[in-house]
Amino acid sequence: MYLKRLEIYGFKSFAEKTVFDFEKGITCVIGPNGTGKSNLVDAILWVLGSQNPRDLRGGKMEDIIFNGTDKRKPLGFTYVTIVLDNADRLIPIDHSEISITRKFYRSGESEFYINNVECRLKDIVDLFTDTGLGKNGYSIIGQGKIEEILNSRPDEKRGLFEEAAGIVKYKNKRYESLKKLDMTQDNLSRLNDIISELYGRLKPLQEESLKASEYLKLSQRYKTFKINQYLLNYASMEKESTLVGSAISTERDKLENLSARFKEVKIEHDELRGELENLKNDRTSIRTNLYDANTELEKNRGEIKLINLQLSEESKKLDETDQKILGLISEIRKRKAERNELIQKVSNLSSAGLKIDIRLKNYITNMEIISGAIDKISEFHKNVIQRKDLMEREVLIKNNEIKHVNLNISEKINRNNALTERLGKLRSEHETIKQELLRCFNERRSLNRAINTIKNKISQNDRKLNERKDIYLRYIDESNRIKKSIQIINTRIKALEDMKKNNEGLNDGVRYVLGLKDPNVYGFVGELIELDKKYERAIETALGNSVEYIIVKTEDDAKRLITLLKSKKAGRATFIPLSSIKPRKYIKVNSHGFLGRAAELVKYDLIFRDAIEFLLGNIYVYDNVDNAIISSKKYNYSIRAVTLDGDIISPGGLITGGFYKKGYNFLSRENESKKLRKDISESIVKLKDNNERITKLSTDLKSIEENLKNLDDTLFELTNKKSYVDERIRELIHNYKNIGQNISTLSYEIDLNNHEISERYNELNTLEHEIHELESKIEQSVLLDKNFVEVESELKNKYEEIKNKFNDFRIENAHAVAEKDNMEAQLKEIEVRLNEDINSLQLLLNTRSYLRDHIKNLRRNLTDEKVKGQNLSLEIEKFEKEIVEIEQKIVITEEKIRNISSIKENLSNELALVSNNLSDLELKYERIKLGIENLHDRLKDEFNLTIEEALSYRDESIDYKNIQKEINFMKDKLDSLGTININSIEEYKNTKERYDFLLSQYRDVLESKNSLEKIIRETDRIIYDRFNSFLKRANNTFRENFIKLFGGGQASIVLTDADHPDESGIDIIVQLPGKRLQSMSLLSGGERTLVSIALLFSLLQLNPSPFVVLDEIDAALDDANIDRFINFLRQLSREIQFILITHRPGTTDAADVLYGITMEEKGVTKKISIKLSDAANWR
């Protein structure tokens, strides 16, 4: 990533739109003082998110808008846009270019854009977090800011390092989490206040609700008794209705059975008809296939006849063709005989003529050969004389070459002797370096093994540390979860204890009696028994209201307490005197699903045995309602059965059941309390075990961290040693290669010289040999000259003799040629006719070949058609057989249909008979119902109930003899209850629901708080690890850069509070070469600048920023330090784009691009292009 373009309008002195295009590398901006160069830096700083006017060298934000001059009006707004190349996706946005725009109006309004899409300032700041361009970034160093790096407070320096370490986003995340944690804590406090308030309101509301519930129950009981009075009046009609209804049910069962049987028969009848239809369809299908097969067979037979006819015709044509071929062959033979006879004659004439021609050609050839030989011999003669002269001159030249070669050989031998001596020295030096190199390689291998061992140990310890930390955090979370669970359980136990202590849920009278603490009062039934949770619902249902019965010592105690209740108007209560109560009789039950008598399924003190047997002795508990009903039937509905789900089968057969609304009762309350106490004991054991593990893990973590620190120190020392050895190896390899190249060069030169000496000796031998050969050839040439004269004379005489013979034979040859031409004409005519006959024969042969192939194909087709016909015959036979089988099945199925139709008709008659009987019974039932409707009207008028609704109020336990007395008593009781708030029931329900909802919310918010605390701990760990790791690397890089810039000395980055590294500030300690450790304030301006540059460049090396803007940071440097600064700058510019505001000539010399800034018009900055050759005038 790098800065491609900067666009400024109305920012400070940039009154007009100004665009700067930047390239990679180093760009310098130069110009006279006061022309607004630094405003360019302020513009970049502002668009990247700066909000402090002082950072922009202003008093308030409006100061950044162009304020006008004598010639120009002030502008109403300003904007700055930067365009970044994001091809490397350093910023995680799917765009190769990113434009950032910031606008500000004099009215104080601001606008922000990313790629022309409006956004928030926070979005821009977040975009550049941890890139070095952030708030505490080190990529934009304004005028005079370079020294502020050293002058800043330790905590401000830490901000610079945090930006470079890339942990700012984690710190921001931690800050957001802490804000959320504070909000969560506030929510917890508010919820706790509301829950406490609701908890205080619940108790009085519950009392009012219970009173209202008692009123409603008594009102309902009064209503039940009144309704039961009416139900007695139509008991007989109900009984008769039941008998008729039973008869109707029986007839309906018969009708249903007959209907079912009729339906089965009808289905069977329909299935048979469907089967018959399918058989007929199959028969039709097979008949169709049979017809198609017969048709195909007829077609096959016709095809066979056609093929036989074609075979006959084609055979006849073949015979005719064979006859024609025989005739043509005979004609061809005759023509060939004639041709051969003429050929023989022509051949004879040709032979005679040929012999003459041969002799003529021989004469011509001999004449040409002799003429040529004469010419060649004459030419050879001339050449021999010329070559003889040349060879004599060549012998002189080669003698001179021999002298020159001997001189060259002497020079090469002397050169080789000198080279061999130098080569020996180089080989000795080469071997020495090789041994030193081997030693360094061995040392490096040892160091590498040691470093790898240390790295493996560090990796193992890091992994072990992370694993231990994860386990440690899990145990911390688990401890917090257990503590939270214990807190919730304690709250619930306290609530249960308060309910028990206050006797909540009991009637007023019961609570009053229990509050007296009378020694003869043992307590109410619900608190005196214990039972398994499995039986809670069954026993609760079995006891009903008797769960509140109070067990006392004697009848006198009961009478005394009842009198007290009346006198105090404290309510009513039922008492069980142990002195007079007798257990109920029970029968032994043995049936499927029976779990035991209710009295046997509870635990109690033996003193209460008679009381518990009285209440639960004749109640039998079953696993489900089906088994309970079966058992009740078995014992003629004489027992009272209850199921685990709370369903009741009363004596006489009444069944009570339905949805069981979950709620707390006296029986489950104690069980829950015991279970909770057990849970809390187990949780405390787990918590103790967890805390022991946390302590052990904490010790392990400290040990591992100490070990890691020691390993890091060892690794640092080994790495430094390895760096020295690597440098030494590189130096030795360089020398080794150079000497090796020199040895190779010398060896090659010696070999080349030896080769050339050898070639020169070979050349010397060759020259001597050539001279010897030339002298021999010169002697031969002298002899050849004499022989050539004699041979030339003989050849000329021979040529004249052959020429005379040639003329005689040429006349004889003319007569033979004429006769031969005549015969050749006859032969050509015969050849033409013979070719025509041969062509005709070829056509007939082709025709015969075609006819034979066609006949062969027809015979093959005939065979195929015959096979096809046989297959079709077999298929027809198969179809005929299948039709016979299906016909038989059709007959059988039709017989079945007739039988089932008869059964169907009989069932239909029976159905009609039963239906008539049912109609008679239903008519009778309707007459009975008409009588019951009269009772309906009376119930409707008084209670607004139907007869069906009234039946739900029926209670077999009512004493019908004293029913009127009970009704009068209940009327008095209702009057004595006084004012009743019926709405308190709903109000209590709503308040309780809100209380439970808020309690649930409290738990959720508490869980959210724990999650936030976990996130903060994890973020702290990441910040700690990354910051410490980066600080170590930054320290090493800073030390190296310091030594390079100052030529020695010491420098380090230290924490001001090493015991608290998470909060510690950072300080810089330096020791210049040849000086003692001294304070930063005692350094000169140039030294301080150079230290700041060393620190700045160290951060850039470790975490390169996309671009860096430096405003006159080189002002305090002398020429020597400028050179060091420029060298560093050039190295870093390979990876980082630099934009420098400068006056120094040395700095501008390093620039790849130069921009000039001027102020031609007062108060208005302008950009101008500068040639590098004119740059000196702008410094």
Give the three-state DSSP class for 675: helix
The DSSP result for 515-555, as a single string, is HTT-TTEEEEHHHH-EE-GGGHHHHHHHHGGGGGPEEES-H
What percent of the chain clears pLDDT 90, i.e. is strictly above it? Answer: 8
Q: Determine the Cα–Cα distance for residues 992 and 983; give it in Å rounded to an integer.
A: 14
Residue 814: band (very low, low, confident or very high) from pLDDT cuts 50, 70, 90: low
Ranked by mean pLDDT, the top range of 469-473, 1117-1121, 1151-1155 is 1151-1155
Give the three-state DSSP class for 13: coil
State the average pLDDT over residues 946-963.
75
Task: Fill in the DSSP letter of residue 598.
Answer: G
Contact indicator for 1099, 1034 with CB cutoff of 8 Å: yes
* Separation in Å, CA 305 to CA 309, 926, 959: 6, 90, 113
Q: What is the predicted pLDDT for the residue at 316?
A: 82
Q: What is the token pair recorded at 548?
A: 């509140």
In this prediction the pTM is 0.38
What percent of the chain clears pLDDT 70, i.e. is strictly above it? Answer: 86
Q: What is the predicted pLDDT for the residue at 500?
A: 63
State the average pLDDT over residues 301-330.
79
**DSSP H or E segment with residue 117:** strand 117-119
Residue 104 lies in a domain: yes
- The CATH number that applies at residue 75 is 3.40.50.300
State the average pLDDT over residues 382-405.
75
Structural domain span for residue 69: 1-139+1113-1179
Q: What is the predicted pLDDT for the residue at 350?
A: 63
Q: What is the predicted pLDDT for the residue at 736?
A: 82
Q: What is the predicted pLDDT for the residue at 369?
A: 67
Residue 1130: band (very low, low, confident or very high) from pLDDT cuts 50, 70, 90: confident
State the average pLDDT over residues 194-204.
74
Residue 60 lies in a domain: yes
With vertex at residue 681, the alpha carbon angle to CA 676 and CA 682, rounded to the nearest 5 degrees, is: 95
Residue 1077 lies in a domain: no
Half-sphere exposure at residue 218, Cβ-oriented, CA atoms within 13 angstroms: 22
Burial (Cβ within 10 Å: 0-12, 13-18, ≥19) of residue 1073? exposed
Q: Determine the Cα–Cα distance for residues 1090 and 1073; give it in Å rounded to an integer.
A: 14
Number of structural domains, the chain? 1
Q: Determine the Cα–Cα distance for residues 933 and 927; give it in Å rounded to an integer.
A: 10
Q: Determine the Cα–Cα distance for residues 709 and 462; give it in Å rounded to an integer.
A: 11
Q: What is the predicted pLDDT for the residue at 664?
A: 44
Express each pLDDT in 65-99 by its tens digit.
998 888 889 999 999 999 999 888 878 788 889 99
The DSSP result for 194-239, as a single string, is HHHHHHHHHHHHHHHHHHHHHHHHHHHHHHHHHHHHHHHHTHHHHH
State the average pLDDT over residues 1123-1128.
82
State the average pLDDT over residues 20-38.
87
Express each pLDDT in 1072-1115 by its tens digit.
887 765 656 667 777 788 888 888 888 878 878 888 888 888 77
Burial (Cβ within 10 Å: 0-12, 13-18, ≥19) of residue 429? middle
Q: What is the token pair recorded at 99?
A: 């434009």
Residue 242 lies in a domain: no
Residue 1010 lies in a domain: no
State the average pLDDT over residues 985-990.
80
Q: What is the predicted pLDDT for the residue at 105?
A: 92
Q: Determine the Cα–Cα distance for residues 1179 and 1140; give it in Å rounded to an integer.
A: 13
Closest CA to 7 of 40, 34, 31, 50: 40
Ranked by mean pLDDT, the top range of 343-357, 388-402, 654-668 is 388-402
Would you give the distance in Å from CA 102 to the centre of its chain? 37
Q: What is the predicted pLDDT for the residue at 118?
A: 92
Half-sphere exposure at residue 764, Cβ-oriented, CA atoms within 13 angstroms: 14
Residue 110 lies in a domain: yes
Q: Which one is predicted more confidently, 363 or 265?
A: 265
| Cβ partners under 8 Å of residue 670, min gap 6 | 500, 527, 530
The DSSP result for 1071-1101, as a single string, is E-TTS--B-GGGS-HHHHHHHHHHHHHHHHH
Residue 419 lies in a domain: no
Q: What is the predicted pLDDT for the residue at 818?
A: 64
Residue 1031 lies in a domain: no
Give the three-state DSSP class for 45: helix
Question: 632 pLDDT exceeds 80?
Answer: yes
Question: 502 pLDDT exceeds 80?
Answer: no
> What's the whole-number average pLDDT of the chain?
80
